[in-house]
């Protein structure tokens, strides 16, 4: 599998990486949280811009992003607009969603953009939406990488469906496919890990799988087993159920990696 090098972080190699979300509403609070994160062992930062009060005011969006880059320096930034159908805070038109993502990609201040790959389609066996494929291509042309994404906050699809949705994201050009689902049983958690292992057998790129909630917490530290290249930790406030504080998470990931390596 080819790894992805973003600034000083190599995804798909070594200890699975930690990524911490910022979910603040105002520019001041976003930058304050970023300052806090610089003191923590986070490898990447996700800006959950769907929480931001000026998300669709492009000049203010880019101004805040530039300030965020200034605080985080060489820490990679994943820019994310999570829509309500996939567990987020906003319900934009695709035109507004696309425009914001492209403006950010062209700015050069974000390293990765999250793209919801199945816009308007809830079928986990479906191919990526045409509009999402086009957006991925445009973001790539702007020089930014893409985390493809698909979420289900109410249930866990079958392992075969999870594998299919990851493969379809890969086929649509996502640099890092992602699937996050909600378990209702221990079997659901195992289905996610099984699907992740199965996809990883033929994957030529890093990928990310998550079983959410307290029941799925085990998946967040099972990256060495599942093949997931990184996992989300928290710095205080969480952006999804089941997240572990990043310091504790980093320690667990390192211990597991060293044990697997025979250290």
Cβ neighbors of 97 (< 8 A, separation 6 or more) are: 81, 83
Please state the φ and ψ torsions of residue 19, each to the nearest 5 degrees: -130, 130
What tokens were used for 17?
């990486």
Cα–Cα dist 46/179, whole Å: 16
Residue 123 pairs in a beta bridge with none
Q: Exactly one of 33, 127, 178, 250 is catalytic; which is it?
A: 178
Instruction: Say which of 33, 127, 151, 170 is annotated catalytic.
Output: 151
178 is catalytic: yes
- DSSP for 155-212 reads ----HHHHHHHHHHHHHTT-SB-EEEE--SSHHHHHHHHHHHHHHHTT-SS--EEEE-
- Residue 90: how many CB atoms within 10 A of its CB? 17
Tell which residue, 72, 68, 75, has the closest CA to residue 49. 68
> Is residue 167 annotated as part of the catalytic site, yes or no?
no
Just list the catalytic residues: 151, 178
């Amino acid at each position: 599998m080819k790894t992805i090098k973003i600034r000083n972080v190599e995804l798909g190699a070594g200890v699975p990486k930690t990524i911490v979300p910022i979910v603040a509403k105002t520019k001041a609070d976003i930058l304050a949280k970023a300052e806090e994160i610089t003191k923590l062992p986070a490898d990447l930062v996700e800006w959950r811009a769907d929480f931001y009060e000026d998300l669709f005011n492009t000049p203010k969006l880019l101004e805040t992003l530039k300030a965020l880059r200034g605080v985080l320096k060489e820490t990679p930034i994943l820019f994310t607009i999570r829509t309500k159908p996939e567990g987020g805070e906003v319900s934009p038109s695709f035109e507004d969603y696309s425009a914001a993502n492209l403006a950010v990609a062209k700015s050069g201040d974000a390293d990765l953009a999250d793209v919801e790959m199945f816009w308007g389609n809830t079928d986990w066996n479906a191919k990526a939406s045409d509009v999402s494929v086009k957006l991925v291509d445009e973001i790539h042309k702007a020089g930014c990488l893409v985390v493809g994404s698909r979420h289900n906050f109410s249930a866990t699809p079958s392992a075969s469906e999870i594998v299919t949705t990851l493969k379809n994201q890969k086929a649509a050009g996502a640099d890092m496919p992602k699937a996050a689902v909600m378990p209702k049983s221990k079997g659901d958690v195992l289905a996610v890990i099984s699907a992740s292992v199965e996809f990883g057998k033929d994957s030529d790129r890093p990928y990310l799988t998550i079983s959410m909630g307290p029941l799925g917490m085990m998946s967040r530290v099972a990256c060495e087993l599942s093949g997931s290249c990184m996992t989300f930790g928290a710095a205080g406030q969480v952006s999804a159920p089941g997240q572990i504080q990043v310091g504790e998470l980093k320690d667990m990931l390192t211990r597991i990696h060293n044990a697997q390596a025979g250290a």
